[in-house]
Chains A and B, each alone.
Chain A
Amino acid sequence: MCSNCSNDENFKILEKYVNALPSKEGALIEVLHKAQGLFGYLPQEVQAFVAEKLNIPVSKVYGVVTFYSYFTIKPRGQYVINVCMGTACFVRGSGDVLEEFQKQLKMKNGETTVDGKFTLGSLRCVGACGLAPVVTINDKVYGHVTVDQVDKILDEYNALEYAK
């Protein structure tokens, strides 16, 4: 996410990216990946912008954005917590770990805390099944996570904010 750029700048970067594409046909998903990388999520105005630049109906853009789980139309928190719900992690108890995160953060899977600090989600297989159950927070991977460790993990990030 480009937190230092203003929205205007992001739109300019995105426009430049679209203009440089060899072909606009079939480029929608690529462009959405780029846009989400810039804005962090895909709000309505960004979807409308992409539709205009690619000369396709905004309904098609919305259809694609909502089809794929990687795209989000809601802003995400500073720290995105993902509990792996792949089968390997599930049979080793990741469901309980997810429940504990929900309990501690007092919100449901898929939601973001009011202060914009944490987003809680689940994903399907990180590919580190030897470490099951696995939790990722942004790019950091936590292996062999147990329910008891959840508050310690959250404290790590609560302390970070404090240090700021």
Chain B
Amino acid sequence: MTPAARRWVFFAGIAGLAAFYLWGLSGLPGFGRYPGPYGFVINHLAVAQTNATGVVSAVNFEYRGFDTVGEEFILFAAVAGVAVVLRHLRGEREKPALDEAADRDVPATSEAVRVVALLFTGPVVLIGWWLASHAQANPSGGFQGGVVLATAFVLLYLSGEFLVFRRLSPVAVTDAVEAVGAGGFVGIGLAAVAMGLPYLKNYLPLGTVPGAVSSSGTIALISFFVGLEVAAAFVLVVSELLDQTLLIRRGGS
């Protein structure tokens, strides 16, 4: 096919795509218009039924809790996949980090980066913990909290404390925390089954004050376990990748 003919095929394709795209756009509901009844029903009932003022969390960890279990295991499986792909292979050996190698002149981490990273580590841990433990009160939750907690470990690494990073997140511990987080979610659901209730039914006392830390029964507890799972999952991914930067393959490929 000549370049000119190829260009015409491209133009025909893009014209068809544009036509279908515009056709699709013209059929969309108006901007900001919500037709379905489901959201209104949830907004009406959620606080009264669950005592959680973070209605998003109530939806995620209760009304569609089973979907969230599935999503959590997508992350779990993805991280397991990363760990398998990045495992140490025969013939690979560790070599000191580039910036530790004697034959290379790499500028040290600047004091500014180190100070800022260290300054932020504490507050970031606090914010992550707060997000993961207050899903019942505000639109946060275990996922966001867990990711923020994981970034605290990245900050530790940025501050040049690579050995602290290694000591605080040995793979065995991270693996265990991730498993406890994922298993805890499933276990809370199975406990309901053991009591003769539907899977993931909220069986804990809901508390008296909506949105209080002690309110919302299993929603807060599930959010906590999701936080553990997500934090460990991302720390694991980051430390696997860090390990990779220290590895060389025999034969110099």
Q: Do A and B originate from a single complex?
A: no
Q: Which residues from chain B sit less than 8 Å from chain A, CB to CB? A: none
